[in-house]
A and B are shown apart, each in its own frame.
Chain A
Amino acid sequence: MIAAIRSLLRHWPLVESLVERELKARYRGSVLGFLWSFVNPLLLLLTYTLVFTVILPNRQPDIQPFFLFLFCGILPWTWFQASLSESSSVLIASSNLIKKVLFPAEVLPTVCVFANLAHFLLGLPILLLFLAWQGKLAWTAVLLPLPLLVQLVLTLGLSLLLSALTVHFRDIQNILNHVLHLWFFATPVIYSYAAIAEGTPLRRALRLNPMTHVIVTYQQMLFHGNVDHWRGLFLALLVGLVAFAAGAFLFDRLRDTLPEEV
Chain B
Amino acid sequence: MTTTPAIVAQAVSKRYRRFAHRNQLRTLKSALLTGSVLADLTPEETFTALEDVSFEVGRGSTFAVIGENGSGKSTLLKLVAGITRPTQGSLVVDGRVSALIELGAGFHPEISGRENIAINAMMLGLSRKELALRYDAIVDFAELRDFIDAPVKTYSSGMYMRLGFAVAIHVDPDVLLIDEVLAVGDEAFTRKCLDKISEFRRRGKTILLVTHSLGLVEKMCDDVLWLNHGRTCGRGEPKRVVDEYLSYVAGGEETLLRSRSAADAARAEATPASEAPDDAGAPGAYRPGRWGSREVEIQKVRLLDARDRERHVFVPGETLTLSLSVHAPRPVSDFVFGIGLFSADGTCVYGTNTDLEDWAPRRLQGDAEVRLSLEGLRLVEGTYLVDLAAHKRDGTPYDYLRGLHSFRVKSRVKDIGIYRPLHHWSFTGGAEVEPPPERPELEIEQAEGGAELPRQRG
Interface residues of A (CB under 8 A from B): 13-14, 17-18, 20-21, 24-25, 28-29, 94, 96-103, 165, 168-169, 250, 253-254, 256-257, 259-261
Check A102 against B108 for contact (C-beta < 8 Å). no
Q: Which of B27, B28, B85, B111 contacts A21 (CB 8 A)?
A: B111
Among B27, B82, B85, the residue within 8 A (CB) of A168 is: B27
Q: Are B119 and A14 in contact (CB under 8 A)?
A: yes
Q: Lowest 8 CB-CB distances: which A-B pairs, in order?
A: A25-B110, A100-B102, A100-B105, A257-B37, A14-B122, A28-B110, A97-B106, A100-B101
B117 CB to nearest A CB, Å: 11
Contact residues of B between 193 and 215, Cβ < 8 Å to A: none
Contacts of A28 in B (CB 8 A): 110-111, 151
| Number of residue pairs spanning A and B whose beta carbons lie under 8 angstroms apart | 90
| B110-129 CB contacts (< 8 Å) to partner A | 110-111, 115, 118-119, 122-125, 127-128
Contact between A259 and B99, CB atoms less than 8 A apart: no
Contact B84 A96 (CB under 8 A): no
A101 and B85 form a contact (CB under 8 A): no
Known interface pairs A168-B27, A168-B31, A253-B32; A97-B81 also in contact (CB < 8 Å): no
Shortest B255–chain A CB gap in Å is 34
The reply to whether A25 and B108 form a contact with Cβ atoms under 8 Å apart is: yes
Output the least CB separation between B213 and chain A (Å): 21
* Residue of B whose beta carbon sits closest to that of A252: B35
**Contact A260 B110, beta carbon cutoff 8 Å:** no
With A25-B110, A168-B24, A259-B78: A100-B83 Cβ-Cβ less than 8 Å: yes
Interface assignment of B298: CB less than 8 Å from any CB of chain A: no
- Given A21-B111, A21-B115, A256-B84, verify A101-B106 contact (CB < 8 Å): yes
Looking at B35, B82, B105, B108, which has the most chain A CB atoms within 10 Å of its CB? Answer: B105
List the B side residues contacting A165 at CB < 8 Å. Answer: 28
List residues of B whose CB falls within 8 A of some A CB: 16-17, 20, 24, 27-28, 31-32, 35-37, 78, 81-85, 97, 99, 101-102, 105-106, 108, 110-111, 115, 118-119, 122-125, 127-128, 151
CA distance A98 to B78 in the complex (A): 11
Provide the bound-state CA to CA distance between A260 and B122, in Å.
23
Give the residue name and chain of the B residue nearest to A107 (CB).
B123
Residues from chain B with a CB closer than 8 A to the CB of A254 are: 28, 31-32
Pairwise interchain contact A260-B81, C-beta atoms closer than 8 A: no
Q: Is the CB of A96 within 8 A of B31?
A: no
Is B37 within 8 A of A260, CB to CB? yes
User: Known contacts A25-B111, A28-B111, A101-B99; is A257 also within 8 Å of B31 by CB?
Assistant: yes
Separation of A261 and B99 alpha carbons in the complex (Å): 21
Q: How far is A32 from B19 in the complex, measured between Cα atoms in Å?
A: 47
- The dominant DSSP class at the A interface is helix
Q: How far is the CA of A169 from the CA of B32 in the complex (A)?
A: 14
Q: Which residues of A contact B85 (CB under 8 A)?
A: 256
Residues of A within 8 A of B118 (CB): 17
Max chain A C-beta neighbours (<10 A), residue from B28, B85, B111, B127: B28
Nearest Cβ in chain A — how far from B28, in angstroms? 5
Nearest A residue (CB) for B78: A259
Contact of A260 among B16, B115, B119 (CB under 8 A): B16
| Listed A/B pairs (30) with beta-carbon separation below 8 Å | A14-B119, A20-B115, A21-B115, A21-B119, A24-B115, A25-B108, A25-B111, A28-B110, A94-B106, A97-B105, A100-B101, A101-B83, A101-B102, A101-B123, A101-B124, A102-B83, A102-B99, A103-B106, A165-B28, A168-B27, A169-B24, A169-B28, A253-B31, A256-B31, A256-B36, A256-B84, A257-B27, A259-B78, A259-B84, A261-B37
For A18, the closest partner residue in chain B by CB is B119
A253–B27 Cα distance when bound, in Å, is 12
A75 to B99 CA separation, bound complex (whole angstroms): 42
Q: How far is the CA of A249 from the CA of B122 in the complex (A)?
A: 25
Known: A18-B119, A99-B78. 7 other contacts (CB 8 A): A14-B122, A28-B111, A100-B102, A101-B124, A257-B31, A257-B37, A260-B17
- Assess the A13–B128 pair: CB atoms within 8 A: yes
